[in-house]
Structure formats: C-alpha cells, structure tokens
Structure 1
Amino acid sequence: MIFHQALGTQSFTFKDLKELLAKATPLRTGDVLAGIAAINNRERVAAQYALAELPLKHFLKELVIPYETDEVSRLIIDDFNADAFKLISHLTVGDFRNWLLTDEVSTEELKKLSSGLTPEMVAAVAKLMRNQDLIYVASKCEVQTSFRNTLGKKGHFSTRLQPNHPTDDAKGIAAAILDGLLLGNGDAVIGINPATDNLKITSDLLKMLDGIIQQNEIPTQSCVLSHITTMMTLMEQNAPVDLVFQSIGGTEATNKSFGVNIAMLQEAYDMALSLNRGTVGNNVMYFETGQGSSLSANAHHGVDQQTCETRSYALARKFNPLLINTVVGFIGPEYLYDGKQITRAGLEDHFCGKLMGLPMGVDVCYTNHAEADQDDMDNLLTLLATAGCNYIIGVPGADDIMLNYQSTSYHDSAYIRKLLGLRSAPEFENWLNERFPL
C-alpha cells in the first residue's frame, strides 16, 4: 500500500508499510547505515503523521516481511490472538497511543491484550511516543516469571550477576560471584558468558554454579550462555542445566546467522522443561536481543532496526522465557551512535517487550568507541527502573573484562533500590536476610 502525507506545502510518499515504519523512526545510525532512515526531520514527522492515521487492522493485511519467506512472520500471524485484539481493533496507531496513556487502562487490561498485539503494531506505536510516554505505559505493565524464585513483581528490581572471566578461571569467577551476592546481586540469574563454547569448560562451569547454589541453598538459577546446541548436548549428558540461553533476532535469516531456527528452539525448550529443575515455576529459557543484530547479519530485509528488534520479542514470547533482555548498546555506534540514541532504544525495547507480555530486562551498556559514558548509563538505569524494568546486569566495576564493554555494576542495583524503594525477588531477599543479617 502506498501512503501519502502532506506537510504544509510539501507532499511525501511512502511506498509501503516497511518504508513508512522506517521513515517514522527517531534518528539512529543503524537505519542511516542501512539507507532507510528519513532524509530529515520533516520527512520523519510526515511519516509519523501518516503512521498515526493508520488503522491497527492494516498490520494484519500487510506484512513487512512476507509470510511465505520468513518463519518469524509465520509465527507472528499464526500465534496472533484475534479475540484479545478485539479490544483495540477499531483504533488507529495514534488512537492506540492515546488509549495506552489514559488512566483507565490498567495492568490487567494490558496483560490480557498482549497476545493480541503483533510486534509491528507495538513498534509503530512506540515511534509516536516521547520518552516519558514509553516510561509511563511500561510502568503499568507487570510480567511475572519464576523458576527458583519469583521475578517481575511490582516494587521489585532484580539483577543478573555476570561474573565473566577472560580465561574462564574458576577462582576468578567464584570471587566475582561472592562479591556480587554480598551486594545483593544475582536474583534474576547467575549467568556466565564463557570465553569459549568448549563442551568440557561449559560443563565444568555449570557444575561449579550448581554447587554454589545448592551448597548455599540460594533461591536463584544459573546459566552458562553457550550456544543452544552446546546446551542440548549437555542436557543429554545430564549436566545441571537450569536455563537454556540463546541470542535471537527478528527475522529467519538473522536467526540462521546465529545458527538457530524455531524448531531447534522448541526442541531445547522441551528438553529443559523435562528436567523439572525449577522449584517454584517452570520458565526455563533466557533470550538476549539487540537493535542492529539483523543489520549486522545483512538479514533485515529493509526493515528498520527497532521493528526488527520488536519482531524478536514475538519469537521469545512463544517459549515463555524466565528472562529476556536487550543488550542495548553492545553492538556499537554504527547502530546507536551516542548516549541519546542508546537511551531512546533502551526505553523503546523495554516498552515494546513489556507490552507484548515479556519479562523484559535491559543490559544498560555501551562500547568504548561510542559517544557515551557512565553518566549516560546512570540516566538510562534510573529511567528504566521508574518504568518497571524487571532486571539489569551486574558486572564487577561495570567493566566486563571478557566481553570488553561497559555495563552496570553491582553497586548500581543497590543505588536504584535505595533511591526508589525497590526490593530483590522475595525468596532471594529472605535468603539474604537469613544469611547476612544486618
């Protein structure tokens, strides 16, 4: 469908929904690099006006990537809940934004609506929102998950304890874990990015984490963030696997670049469920995403990076994850140039994931060659916490010496909990109070 929009004496034309969404996106370097960004703010505003008038029903008629050629598109359409969509089916994208911002829209209503939203609808409404809109609406969403503790309750704020080591040294990892636990980190997961995908090293790390958790009776879960095929092999060998991790993207081609597809994710999900290692719940998957991954893989099909990112949430939603987070500034300034773009993307990703019913976390981070610094991360952390973000990452000194990027530290979660009166997961908080009474 061709879209026309007049702005003053000038007229703009957008050849299809894919171009309209791209041109309506707030400026970011990834879309400029892909050659799909608006040429100036005037064209961007025209696209946003046209997008605001578009009925939500249109997203069911015109797909940004054809149903026949992309399994993520097929998943989006096949899993769409038409009954849930009825609540807002009469609205345009602009009306949907206005409706979301009303006081009458409750947490329960948003929960019921989530399965009736396609990622493109959600990405579209985010493009019309100011940062405060993204924060306010996300704060009304509540998505709870559980494995050995309960995550995502309102008034609670969790962390992944990330004790990475450049040589997977057990003593170095153990020291970082102890440091993190003593500062109240690790209720979301104790999760290690291994330096290699070696089977024995991954198995040894899993056994080490399991030993720490079981010996100290810590109500949390562990994860070694190896490729899903590595974890499937280890599950067959009866390794102590709590959560299965995988990076995912919003197109079939992106996931192919990661070495996965939907059938493989389903097989791993079923295997993890069969282990029955959770004590209070059975959410067994952990996914990471990030704006720009599809462009990096030359797998974006001309779709803007924010819409591609939101499509990955539809894939994650199928597998009821315990955790999902966008590693928002990890890919670099080619995709998100500076602190302003990283902040906007982090708020967008959190909003879109929460609206789609996902337990959304954010790795508040940047690379050293980006035009950003730790003050930008402090700002984004504080904004996300007010928006109800489920969890962030805790890294010693905020400096990941294995992945070579800057994130948030163990102390940052203590700051935000004190500032806003937030608490860790209930079971984990009780354990801390029993083991380390004040």
Structure 2
Amino acid sequence: MTYVHQVGSRRFAFADLKELMAKATPPRSGDMLAGIAAATAEENVAAKMALADVPLKTFLSEALVPYETDEVTRLIIDGHDAAAFAPVSAFTVGDFRDWLLSEAADSAALARLAPGLTPEMVAAVSKLMRNQDLILIAKKCRVVTRFRNTIGLPGTLAVRLQPNHPTDDPAGISAAMLDGLLYGCGDAVIGINPASDSLPVLDRLIKLTAEVIERFDIPTQSCILTHVTSSIELMNRGAPVDLVFQSIAGTEAANRSFGIDLAVLKEGTDAARALKRGTVGQNAMYFETGQGSALSANAHHGVDQQTLEARAYGVARVFEPLLVNTVVGFIGPEYLYDGKQIIRAGLEDHFCGKLLGVPLGVDVCYTNHAEADQDDMDTLLTLLAAAGVTYIMGIPGADDVMLNYQSTSFHDALYVREVFGARRAPEFEGWLERMAITGPDGRLLPATGSHPLLGFATERAA
C-alpha cells in the first residue's frame, strides 16, 4: 500500500509502511548509512503526518519484516493479545498518541494494554512524540520484576554494579565490586562482562560473585554476561548461576549473527528457572539491546533501527526477564552520531520498552569517537530519571576499562537519587541500612576503616 501526504504544493509518496516508518524517524546516522532516512526535514514531517493517519490495526496485517521468513515477526503476530488491544483497536497512530497523553491512560490502563501492543505500534507512535511526551508516558508505566529483590517499584531506581576488569583479575573485580556496594549500588545486579570466554574463567567469576552475595547475605543477584550457551553449560556443570544473559536483536537474521534463536533463549530461561535460586521471584533472564545492531549485522531488511530495537523488546518480554537494557551509545557514531541523537534514542528506547511491559534500563553511554561528552550523558541520565527508568549502570569513575567506553558512575547514581528522591530496591535498601552503609533516609553514612566489606577486599588483594 502506498502512503501519500501533501505539504503545500509538494506531494510525498511512501511505497509501503516500512518506508513510511523509516522516513518518519527523527534523524540518525544509522538510517542515513542504510539509505532509508528522509532526505529532507520536509519529507520527515510529511511522513510523520501520513503516519499519524495510519490505523493501529494496519500493523497486524502489513509486516515490516516478512512473516514467512522471520521468527521474530511470527512471535509478535502469533502472540498478539487481541482482547488487550481492543480498547485502542479503532485508533490511528495519531489518536493513540493523544490517548497516551490523556489522563485516561493511567498506570493500570497501560499495564492492561501492554500485551495488546506490537513493537511496531509503539515505535510508530514514538516517532510522533516530543521528548517530553516520551518522558511523561514512560513515567506512567509500571513494570515490576523479582528475583532476590523487587525491581521497578514506583519511586525506585536500581543500579547494575559493573566491576569489569581487562584481564578478569579476581582482586581487581573484587575491589570494584566492594567499592560499588559501599556506594549503595548493586540492587539491579552485580554483572560482569568477562574478557574471556573460557568456561573455567567464567566459572571462577560466577563463584566469586556468589561468594560475596552469600557471605554478606546480600539481597541481589549476579550475572556473568557471557553467551547463553555458555551459561547453559555452566549450569549443567553445577555452577551457581543466578541470571542468564544474552544480547538480542529485532530480526531472526540479527539474532543468528549473535549465535542464537528463540529456541535457545527458551532453553536458557527454563534452565535458570529450574535452579530456583530466586527468593522473591523467578524472573531469571537479563537481555541487552542497542539501536543499530541489526544494521551492523546486515540483517535489518530495510527497516529503521529504532523500530527494530522495539522488536527486540518484543522478543525480551516473552521470556519475562528481570532486566533489559539498551546500551544506547555503545555501538558508535555510525548509528547514533552525537549527543543529541543518543539522548533522543535513549528516551525512545525507554518509552517503547516500558509501553510493551519490559523492565527497561538504560546504559547511558557513548564511545570515545562519538560527538558526545559527559555533559550529554548527564542530560540523558536526568531525563531518564524523570521518566522513571528502571535501572542504570554503576561503573568506577564512569569509565569501563575493559569495554573502553564511557558510562555512568556510582556517584552519578547518588546524584539522581538526591535530585529525584529515588530509593533502591526495598530489600537491598534494608540490607544497606543493616550494614551501616546508609541511614534510614537512604543516604550514605560516613565511611569507617573497619567495615566488613573492606576486610573481604583486603583478603582478595592478598
């Protein structure tokens, strides 16, 4: 079907829904690289206006990635909840935007609606939004998950403690881990990106984090961010795996480039749940995504990168994960060129994930060759905190010495807590108070030289 919109004396025609979606997307370098972006600002506006008139139900009959050849499309279409969709089924994309901004779209209504929305629907409506709209609507979404603590409650903000080390040195990882805990970070997960894929090394890291959690009775979970098949093998060998990690994307071909399909994700989910290591819930998966991954794998089918990112959240929600995060600026300026594009993408991703019912966090980050700096990240971090982001990263000095990119620090988490009054996961906050790390108000207590966590760090160093 051709979509047409007249702007003054100019007539803009878009060959199909896929082209219309791409042309309506706010400018970003990845879509330009793919040759699918609007050629002018005028064409971009015409596409947005044409998209606003598209009925939402069109996305159920006009697939952007072919149903016959893509298992992600089949997952989305076959799993669609028609009853949940019914309240908005007569809306156009523009009507849907107006409704989302209305008082009728409260937290309860959005939670009921989530199973009835496809990723393409939420991507489409995001293209009509200003940044403030993305913030306001995401703030109303409530997505709560549980493993050893409760993530996503209103008024809370969790932090992934990320103690990476370029050689997987246990002493270095222990020092960073305990530093983060003493700054009150780690309620989302203690998650290590290993430098090695060696199963003995991965096993040693899993046992290290498990030892810290068990020794100090910390109500949190650990994760070694290795391939899902490695986690499955480690579980088969008896390793104390809490969360199973995997990077995912929005097309079957892109997921294949990661060495996965939906079947192996289900296998990892089932294996982790079978261990029953959670104490307050069994949301046992951790997924990471990022705009541009399908394009970098030449697996984008001509679809814009933001829509494909939303499709990755459609994959994630089926497996009921504890955590999902977009590593928003990590892939590089070829996909998100500068601070402005990274900020917009982070707000879009958070909005789309939350609207789909996914526990979305954001790695507020950039690579050193992007046209961005830490002031841009401060801006995005602040906007996401206002939008109720589920969690952020906590990295010593905001500089990941293993992955070589810039993210957010333990101190950045303290900043947003102070500005927004955001608390930690309640079980974790209770532990911090019992350990005399924070007071009843959630603020850090003065440091002492005899804290038991420091003793553990000294042991490891020796």
Deviation per CA, 1:109-147: give whole Å up to 9, x if none. 000000000000000000000000000000000100000
Counterpart for residue 88 of structure 1: 88
Q: CA deviation at 1:104?
A: 2.2
Given the alignment of the two structures, is residue 230 of structure 1 paired with residue 230 of structure 2, yes or no? Answer: yes
Aligned residues: 438
- Which residue is equivalent to 2:460? none
1:292 corresponds to which residue?
292
The letter of the residue matching 2:82 is A
Q: Counterpart in 1 of 2:402?
A: 402
C-alpha distance in structure 1 between counterparts of 2:184 and 2:371, whole Å: 31
Query: What value does the CA root-mean-square deviation take over the aligned residues?
Result: 0.5
Q: Which residue of 2 aligns with 1:215?
A: 215
Q: Secondary structure at the match of 2:239?
A: coil
> Shift in Å at residue 431 of structure 1?
0.3
One-letter amino acid of the structure 2 residue matched with residue 365 of structure 1: C
Kindly report structure 1 stretches of 4+ aligned residues shifted beyond 4 Å: none
Kindly provide the amino acid, as one letter, of the partner of residue 75 in structure 1: L
Q: For residues 34-433 of structure 1, what are the structure 2 equivalents within 5 Å?
A: 34-433=34-433
**Corresponding letter in the other structure for 1:258:** F
Which amino acid in structure 1 is aligned with residue 168 of structure 2?
D
2:105 and 2:86 map into 1 onto residues whose CA distance is 15
* SS, match of residue 87 in structure 1: helix
Listed as ranges, the gaps of 5+ residues in structure 1 are none
Amino acid at match of 1:205: L
Give the aligned residue type for 1:342. I
Partner amino acid for 2:61?
K
SS in 2 for 1:416: helix
Deviations 1:200-254 (A, max 9, x none): 0000000000000000000000000010110000000110000000000000000
Ranges in structure 2 where 5+ consecutive residues have no aligned partner = 440-444, 446-462
Cα distance in 2 for residues equivalent to 1:116 and 1:421: 33
Secondary structure at the aligned position of 1:86 is classed as: helix
Q: TM-score, normalised by structure 1?
A: 1.00
TM, length-normalised to structure 2? 0.94
Give the share of equivalent positions with the same residue, in percent. 66
Counterpart code for 2:321: P
Aligned equivalents of 2:173 and 2:411: distance in 1? Answer: 18
What is the identity, as a one-letter code, of the residue corresponding to 1:106?
D
- SS of match in other structure, 1:160: strand
Task: Please give the alpha-carbon distance, in whole angstroms, between the structure 1 residues aligned to 2:262 and 2:185.
Answer: 32
